[in-house]
Amino acid sequence: MSRCLHNSAVMVVLIAAIFFGGCRSEPASDAAAPEPTPWVPILVKQGGLELLEMKPDAVLGAKIVSVENAELPGVLETSGQITFDDRRVSTIVSRVQGRIEQTRLSLWDNVKRGEKIAALYSPDFMTAEAEFIQARDAAKRGQNGGLSGANDISASLLAAARRKLELLGMEDADIRAISAPNPTVWMRAPISGLVVDNKAVRGAAVNPGDVLYSLGTLDDVWITADIYEDDISRVSVGQELEAVTAAFPDRIFKGMVARISPGIDPTTHTAQIRCEVKNPDGSLKPQMLARVKIVIHPGEATVVPQDALVFDVDSYFAFVEVSPNVFEHRKVSVAPWEHAGYVRVGSGLRAGDRVITGETLQVNALWHMAHGESSGDIQ
């Protein structure tokens, strides 16, 4: 808002306040009556706070009401986003230095557990396989008439060579099939699911620790949603819920509350919950938005008339009476509420607080004027 428009609004308020609040006509008399002193809001400091001293009735339409508690319904509604259940996500990581010789999968392909997905070339495979063949042959010779002590050593060497191949990522079936050292080994899918991330490119060099693929399943998904801190006591792990998406508005997906965050977001005063939802046909996709209904025990919420709040810069504020004709410009967070004309308070107010309602925009302009901002533009 430009400075001129802001100043004009403030002047209109002050003129109206003076006209209606302090300029009553008196019977004519011989002696001239003294001019009334215009009322101007001022800032006062109390307990480290800057407070606005004013008479609410001087602003036409403004009044003071008390903040109240209202009964909450037995169903908690919130919104969230669908994600993979990270317990059902697996990554395929290169454990050797080499290069990718072949690939069989692309992004979003379906894969079964144990299926070959990429051929990886590395001299490390060839060296480990040669050691395994040598240890296996020595163990066989020991079984055909060797000394018992030598047999034990051969068995230990064979177990160590086999373990080395397992640590390089080879499956049991591939180890049993080794007949000659080969520098190329097929990487296999550790789970059945979808390819949700693909970084494997034919001919690309790889190093130990490089992620080649990420696989996930959609049989069960998570919906991550937020609840306000005053609702945490009403939600517990195992509570049943229903979820509806914009993509399938006529379909209800069943689930339950699986996790509740141990921390609170200090900005929004909310905690995250993770809802485990059944998705047998894969209709629910990651990043979809969903509306969640949780059956809970009834409770109470702090509510305030909508016109008691004013949005200033990036937050909501209310003018709270701290003593007669003295008001605090207090930041308030809001939460969803279905009743028209009222707002549910997340933080900043409590039942019994007295707040200004009605012309809060004009009162907010007086607040800025008292701060000396009437001489500059207010964004």
pLDDT in tens, 207-226: 999 999 999 999 999 999 99
- Does the pLDDT of residue 340 top 80, yes or no? no
Q: Tokens at residue 325, please?
A: 């004709």
Select the more confidently predicted residue: 229 or 290. Answer: 290
What are residue 289's phi and psi, to 5 degrees? -95, 145
Q: What does the pLDDT read at residue 234?
A: 85
Query: Do residues 259 and 287 both lie within one domain?
Result: yes
Q: Is residue 309 over pLDDT 70?
A: yes
pLDDT at residue 378 greater than cutoff 50: no
Backbone torsions φ then ψ of 96, nearest 5 degrees: -135, 170
- What would the two tokens of residue 129 be? 């396989």
pLDDT confidence bin for 44, thresholds 50/70/90: confident
Residues 261, 341 within the same domain:
no
- 204: domain CATH number is 2.40.50.100
pTM listed for this prediction = 0.56
Looking at residue 22, what is its pLDDT? 43
Please tell me whether residues 110 and 202 are part of one structural domain.
yes
Q: Locate tokens 């080395």: which residue?
A: 164
If you write DSSP's letter for every residue of 30-68 in order, what string do you get? SSPPPPPPPP--EEEEETTEEEEE--GGGSTT-EEEE-E
Helix (H, G, I), strand (E, B) or coil at 162: helix
pLDDT at 150: 62
- Specify whether the CB–CB gap between 274 and 259 falls below 8 A: yes
Q: Are residues 327 and 368 in the same domain?
A: yes
**Containing domain of residue 261, as a range?**
79-85+218-295
Looking at the structure, tell me whether residues 102 and 11 fall in a common domain: no
**262 Cβ contact partners less than 8 Å away, ≥ 6 residues apart:** none
Neighbours of 130 (CB within 10 A): 15
Into how many domains does the chain fold? 3
Q: pLDDT digits over 260-279, tens only?
A: 999 999 888 899 999 999 99
pLDDT at position 29 is: 47
Lowest mean pLDDT: which of 27-36, 118-127, 293-302?
A: 27-36
Average pLDDT for 124-140:
92
Residues 209 and 134 in one domain: yes
